[in-house]
A and B are shown apart, each in its own frame.
Chain A
Amino acid sequence: MSELVFVFQTLVDGLLLSGGYILIALGLGLIFGVVNYVNVAQAEFSMFAMYGTWVLWIALGLDPFLSLAIILPVFAMIGVAFYVSMVRAVRTRDHGVHILMTLGLAFILQNAALLIFSADVRTIRTAYSAASFNIGGVSINIVKLVAFLIAIALFFALIAFLNKTRTGRAIRAVAQDESLAAAFGVNVDRIFMITVAIAIALAAAAGTIMMPHLFVQPMVGQFFVLFAFAIVVMGGMGNLKGALVAGLIIGVVEAFGQVYIGGLAGRIIVFALILIILYLRPSGLFGRSAL
C-alpha cells in the first residue's frame, strides 16, 4: 500500500512540475510551426520573466501569480521587438542561421542577467509556499498545483484562440499555406509578429509560474530550453497537442528516474530519449500535424 502511495506521489510530482516546460515547448512549437523559425533563446525570456516576477515581489510585494497580469503583456511587447529585430530579416534563411543568431541572443541575455542580478540564486517564498493538502496519502503542494493549473489553462486558452478567433484562424491558415492566406488578404508579416509575441508571452508565463517553487539564476534558461526541445521532439515539431502530452510524459519520466534510480538519472533518461525518438520516430510520437 505505501509503495503504491509512493508511486502515486512520484507521478503527481512529475506531472505538477511539467507545466512550465510545456509552456516553453508550446512557444517553441508555435514559432516553428507558423514562422518556421527555431528560437534557441526561448527560455532566456522565461529566465527574465522569473527575475521580473522576483523584482515585482521584492519591490512591490506583488503576489507572483498575480504578476502574470503585468508579465504577459510586457513580454508580448518584447516578443514584438524580438520579431522585428531578430526574426523578420532571416526568417527564410537556414534553420542553422536561426539557431546561431538566437544562441548569440541567449549569450547576451544570460550575461546581461549576470551583470544586472549577479550569479546569486533568487527565490520567492510566499506565505502559502509550503501549504499542501493530502489525498489518500499523496501530498499535493498548493504552489505547484496552481502553477500546473495555470499552465493547463493557458494551453486550452491558446487552442481556443487558434480555433475560435479570426486572428487565431489566420495564424493556422498561414501555418498551412502562406501564399493562399495572403491571397485572401491576410497580412502575413503581422500574423508572424502576433505569433512570436504570443510565444514569448508563453515563455514568460512559464517563468512566472515556476518562480514560486523553483529559483532563478542567469543560466536556468539553458536547462529549460533543453527540456523544451525534448518535449518538442517527442511531441512532434509544431504539434501543440503532442507537446502537452509529451510534456506530461517527460515530467513523469524525469520524476521516476530521479526517485527510483537517483541523482541525475531522470535527466539522463530524458536526453537519451531525444536520440532514441529521433532514431525510431523522427516525426515525434504524435506526428507532425499542422496547427
Chain B
Amino acid sequence: MTAVLASPRIYVPLAALILFIAAAPWFSPFYLNMAILFLLFAIWGHAWNIIGGYGNSLSLGHAAFVALGAYVPTLMLRAFDLTPIVGAVFGMLAAIAVAAFVGWVTFRLKGAYFAIATLAIITLLHYLTLHFRGLTGGAQGVSVPFRGHDPLYLQFSSNLYYFYILLVMAVLVTWIMQRFDRSQFGYHLRAAGQDEAAAQSIGIDTRQVKLWGFMMSAAITAAAATVYAQFIYHLDPFYVVHIQLSILILLPAVIGGPATVWGPVVGAALLVPVEQLAQRELGGTYAGAQLILYGLVVILVLRYLPEGIVGILGRYYSRLLARLPGGDDIGGKSKPRRQSD
C-alpha cells in the first residue's frame, strides 16, 4: 500500500477521489444521481473487464448477473424479511452458479460461441422473469418494500448514502483489480484470452482460469447490483433483465481500455455523464439520440483505438509525470504497460 502511495502515478486519481468525496454533499440531485451511476458502471465495468478484457471472452450476458443480484435479495426481502446485506450473498451465489454453468458449457468451444451463449442466458432470464409472474411480478416488475430510513436494510433517507457505499465498493474493486492485474491469476487469464493454444502449451488450464474469472466477474456484478436495487427500489425487467443493459455494462471497459486497470473507470467517467446529459437535453423529443452517439463511439474506438482511451491517455499521463519534479527517475518504471491487442 505504501508502495502504491509513493508512486506519483496515483496522485491524480487520489486527488480526484478526495475532491469527489468532499464535493458530493453539494451535488444537485441530478449530479448525485450521475455520480452514483458513474460509480456503479465503473464497478460493473471492472467486473466485465475481468472476463471480457483480460479473458478476451465477450460476455453479452452481464445483465443476467445484475438481475440475479437485484432480484434474488429483493424477493428474499419480500418473502422472508431478509436484509439485502445478507441477501446479497445469495444474489452473488446465484450469479456464480449461472456463470459456472455457462462457462462450463462454452469455455471448451472457440470464438463466438461464448458470446452467443451469454446472449442466450440473458434472453432466457428475461423471458423467465416475464413468464413467472407470480414470483417476479412479470412485466410490471417488483418493488423493494419501503421501510423508511433503515441502514440495516440498506434503505436511507438520502441518496448520498448510496453514493458513499458505492464509492467504498468502487475503490475496493479498483484496488482488487490493481492487485489482480499483476497477479499470477491475472497473467494466466490474459494469456488464456490472447492465445489459448500458447497458454495451454505452458501448462495453463485455460478453461479453468476463464471459469474462475467469469465467476469472479459475476459475483462482483451481482454485489453492486444489490446496492443498485435498493437505490432504484423498483426492478423493471425491461431494463434490469435485458440485453441492452449488458451492452451498457461492457461499453466502459471496451471504450476505456480492455484489460487495463483504469480503462473501465475512465470509460464510465466519460460515458455516464455523456449519456445522462444527452438524455436530459435530448430525452423527450429526440429519445435515443444519445444511444446513436454511443454506437458511433463504439465503432470508431474499435476501428481506430483498439487499446481504448487509456492507451493514449496513459502515454500523455506518463509524459506529464516525467516533467514533474522527481518524476523522471520513476517515469521509465511507471510507463503504461502494453495493453492487449
Interface residues of A (CB under 8 A from B): 38, 86, 89-90, 93-97, 99-101, 103-108, 110-112, 114-115, 119, 218, 222, 226, 229-230, 233, 237, 263-265, 267-268, 271-272, 274-275, 278-279, 282
Contact = CB atoms under 8 A, between A and B. Distances in A.
B128 interface: yes
Given A86-B299, A279-B105, A96 B120 contact: no
A100 B298 contact: yes
Interface stretch (B82-90, B288-296, B311-319): B288-296
B302 A100 contact: yes
Nearest to A274: B120
Nearest to A98: B112
Given A90-B302, A271-B120, A278-B109, A100 B58 contact: yes
24 contacts: A38-B112, A90-B302, A95-B111, A96-B58, A99-B60, A100-B58, A100-B254, A101-B302, A103-B295, A104-B294, A104-B297, A104-B298, A104-B299, A104-B302, A230-B120, A233-B116, A237-B112, A264-B127, A268-B131, A271-B123, A274-B116, A275-B102, A278-B117, A282-B109
Shortest beta-carbon contacts, A-B, top 3: A104-B298, A111-B288, A107-B295
Contact of A103 (B116, B298, B303): B298
Interface string B54-74: 001110100000000000000
B238 to A, nearest CB: 10
B247 interface: yes
- Highest count of chain B CB atoms <10 Å: which of A86, A222, A263, A274: A274
Nearest to A262: B131
B339 interface: no
A107 B120 contact: no
Contacts of A218: 288
B127 A111 contact: no
Interface in B246-305: 247, 250, 254, 286-289, 291-292, 294-299, 302-303
A232 to B, nearest CB: 8
B247 A114 contact: no
Report the contact-size class of chain B (Cβ under 8 Å from the partner).
35 or more
Contacts of B131: 263-265, 268
Contacts of A275: 102, 105, 117, 120-121, 124
Interface string B110-134: 0111011101110110011011000
Interface of B: 56-58, 60, 102, 105-106, 109, 111-113, 115-117, 119-121, 123-124, 127-128, 130-131, 243, 247, 250, 254, 286-289, 291-292, 294-299, 302-303, 306
| Majority-rule SS of A interface residues | helix
A95 B115 contact: yes
Contacts of A106: 295
Contact of B58 (A99, A105, A264, A272): A99
Given A112-B292, A115-B288, A267 B127 contact: yes
A104 B304 CA distance: 14
A108 B127 contact: no
A110 B288 contact: yes
A30 to B, nearest CB: 15
Contact of B303 (A101, A222, A263, A268): A101
A103 B127 contact: no
A223 B8 CA distance: 49
Contacts of A267: 123, 127
B197 to A, nearest CB: 15
A256 to B, nearest CB: 16
Contacts of B57: 96
Contacts of B287: 114-115, 119
Contact of A268 (B60, B127, B294): B127
A95 B288 contact: no
Nearest to A119: B287
Nearest to B108: A282
Contacts of A107: 247, 291-292, 294-295, 298
A226 B60 CA distance: 12
B302 A97 contact: yes
Contacts of B111: 95
A115 B288 CA distance: 7
